[in-house]
Amino acid sequence: MANQALMANAIRALAMDAVQQANSGHPGAPMGMADMAAALWGEHLKHNPANPHWADRDRFVLSNGHASMLIYALLHLTGYDLPIEELKNFRQLHSRTAGHPEVGITPGVETTTGPLGQGITNAVGFALAEKLLAAEFNRDGHAIVDHHTYVFLGDGCLMEGISHEAVALAGAWKLGKLIALYDDNGISIDGKVAPWFIDDTPKRFEACGWNVIGPVDGHDAAAVSAAIAQAKAGEGSKPTLVVCKTQIGKGSPNRGGTAKAHGEPLGADEIGLTRSALAWEHAPFELPEAVYQDWDAKAKGAAAETAWNEKFAAYAQAFPDLAAAFERRMKGELPAAFDQVVVDAVLAAHTKAETVASRKASQLALETLTAQLPELLGGSADLTGSNLTKTAATPDLRFAADGTVVRTEDGRIGRHINYGVREFGMAAIMNGVALHGGFIPYGGTFLTFSDYSRNAIRMAALMKQRVIHVFTHDSIGLGEDGPTHQSIEHAASLRLIPNLDVWRPGDTTETTVAWACALRNRTQPTALLLSRQNLNYAPKDELADISRGAYVLAEPTRVGLKKKAKAVIIATGSEVQLAMAAQEMLAAKKIPVRVVSMPSTTTFDRQDVKYKKSVLPKGLPRIAVEMGSTGGWWKYGVDAVVGIDSYGESAPAGVLFKHFGFTPENVAATVQAVLKG
């Protein structure tokens, strides 16, 4: 019989020792949640330390990521490839034990947490993905998708507004296999939270459609384990919150229960007193063999995965096509026919040469892509009719009263999510869906509201996840809604996020290529910036180079001039048509210019020097045209930018274009002014 008190104290010892050695970190939360962890990881969590990527493992999310030594201790103790040397190297350069848990760095970490509230929101995405995959792939007698999502969270997560968005959606979606354990210690950095956090948390969760268990004594591992068992037994139409009353820094005689235990080392003297209070007579980072034996999950995990492998083999024999599709999707691979689908879609867009808004061009591309890719899971933050993210292949996602996924008459499950007015929640939930595997999530809102979801976009980039953001109404072309809704700085701002690809396509072909690039890109999220207003199709001879982010759209020969270009006009999105019209005006004055369409600066920046020089020849004056802030264009050696560095106005789009100088005449005049020097 495992000694859960000893198991929990091992976590406490490792947490205080690692933080002390690093002289940095948060010992209090791991020490306070140690008994909760002993209950969950010691008795309930289904996982295999030898294979952190086993498809049907339970997912564990540490939403209060500052408590990172909790999960590092758990991973080390249960048998993951995280030796004690890594714990000794806590928070040091190139260690696998960063200050906050990072997916892809530490084996067994499911998501990067740190910005509070996003972990619980990611967990909602994990649980949603599990539920939808189960509905799609499970068959009678063959439940190959059957796992739980567990999340630890604290007061800070619940104070963040995003947690309200996530909790509400989890209840609406009836995520019965989502179990959250609340570390209810009443302490944050500033002290006791009572003066500024008076929410009745259990009632809040109940109001959002959750089961609530407790409060239970969070230091009674048996009580916590019983609560988890109760939550699992009652799964179905409701997620569960287990309220665990705990003391931060449990075991520390002088700092336990105080804010001093939160974010700084306990100190050598206090650690000595804590060792005595816990009857822990071992040196720093020294653990008795009995502790390792009690925690060791390797044999149990291997047996669980072996049993699942046998179950999946039977499934594959009965349903070979479904099994192959499941394996492909969990690996994140696209179908073998994807390349041909893209080629056909791009050629179709090029041949039709339609004049439509790029948001409509996006929907046209999605009609083809969603029909061919069942893993595409779309949605919109209450702007479906404006973002145009829904297609014939993606019916609305709905749930019955008993929690089951509603199917269409022809047996399909919903693949378009109504997120409500929850941009931040949508973005972080999509991160969780992508991390889980099996789906490629995309979601839409207006570009100006990317400010709401920015930190989750950043987290997707940090975690290298394939998440696609559809941002429509990308400029002052929004018109009468005015400056509150008109994007000015947003394109430039998004381009500053490392590892985020940003596309602002100028017509149907560029939009289709942008979607294809986003889907092929397995290690980067993508932001598609799309227009409200119609865009003229830009005739083009070369299609292959669009995917390189920028290409020569029109040489002077297009407008009847045989001379070499004297300048280059660089344009993106809706401004490509202005550049093309300006080229014609300048040709009438015998001034030859090249037009370069640059739908993705971030992609173009990754190209080799030779290609960059072929598009933007050295020595030619360069004029950039984009309906947004000008700051990001100077790195391309431009001589002038036709842009906007002030907020917009409320007026019809055509009036605004003239008012702010977004006309072919002004672009042509700017080129002439540059050439005159």
**AA letter at 223:** A
Q: Which pairing describes strands 376-380 and 356-357: parallel, antiparallel, or unpaired?
A: unpaired
* Residue 659 assigned to a binding site: no
Element holding 642 (H helix, E strand): strand 640-642
Task: Enumerate residues 6+ apart whose C-beta is below 8 A from 283.
Answer: none
Backbone angles phi, psi at 86, to 5 degrees: -70, -35
Task: Enumerate residues 6+ apart whose C-beta is below 8 A from 228.
Answer: 39, 40, 43, 44, 179, 181, 242
As given in the structure block, the two tokens for residue 560 are: 């009847």
Tell me whether the omega of the peptide bond preceding residue 215 falls within 30 degrees of 0, making it cis: yes
CB 569 within 8 A of CB 595: yes
* Residue 116 assigned to a binding site: yes
Query: DSSP letters along 287-308, please?
Result: --HHHHHHH--HHHHHHHHHHH
* Residue 382 assigned to a binding site: no
At 636, is the secondary structure helix, strand, or coil? helix
CA-nearest of 427, 431, 442, 334 to 110 is 431
* Residue 321 assigned to a binding site: no
As given in the structure block, the two tokens for residue 296 are: 């060791």
* Residue 272 assigned to a binding site: no
As a whole number of angstroms, the distance between CA 240 and CA 342 comes to 43
* Residue 14 assigned to a binding site: no
* Residue 449 assigned to a binding site: yes
Longest dimension (CA), the chain: 90
Q: Is 423 a catalytic residue?
A: yes
Residue 454: count other Cβ atoms within 10 Å of its Cβ: 17
**Catalytic pick among 102, 423, 510, 626:** 423
* Residue 386 assigned to a binding site: yes
Element holding 216 (H helix, E strand): strand 211-217
Query: DSSP letters along 335-361, please?
Result: PTTHHHHHHHHHHHHHHH---EEHHHH
Residue 599 is given by DSSP the state S
CA separation, residue 45 to residues 178, 327, 644 (Å): 13, 23, 54
Q: Which pairing describes strands 468-472 and 416-418: parallel, antiparallel, or unpaired?
A: unpaired
Task: Enumerate residues 6+ apart whose C-beta is below 8 A from 247.
Answer: 32, 185, 219, 256, 257
CB 170 within 8 A of CB 419: no
* Residue 187 assigned to a binding site: yes
Radius of gyration in angstroms for the set of CA atoms belonging to the chain, rounded to a whole number: 28
> Is residue 669 packed enough to be buried (19+ CB in 10 Å), middle (13-18) or exposed (0-12)?
middle
* Residue 320 assigned to a binding site: no
* Residue 100 assigned to a binding site: no
* Residue 473 assigned to a binding site: yes
* Residue 190 assigned to a binding site: no
Q: Which residues are annotated as a binding site?
A: 26, 66, 114-116, 155-156, 185, 187, 262, 359, 386, 449, 473, 481, 485, 532
Q: Which residues are annotated as a binding site for substrate?
A: 26, 262, 359, 386, 473, 481, 485, 532
Q: Which residues are annotated as a binding site for Mg(2+)?
A: 155, 185, 187
Q: Which residues are annotated as a binding site for thiamine diphosphate?
A: 66, 114-116, 156, 185, 262, 449
Give the active site residues.
423
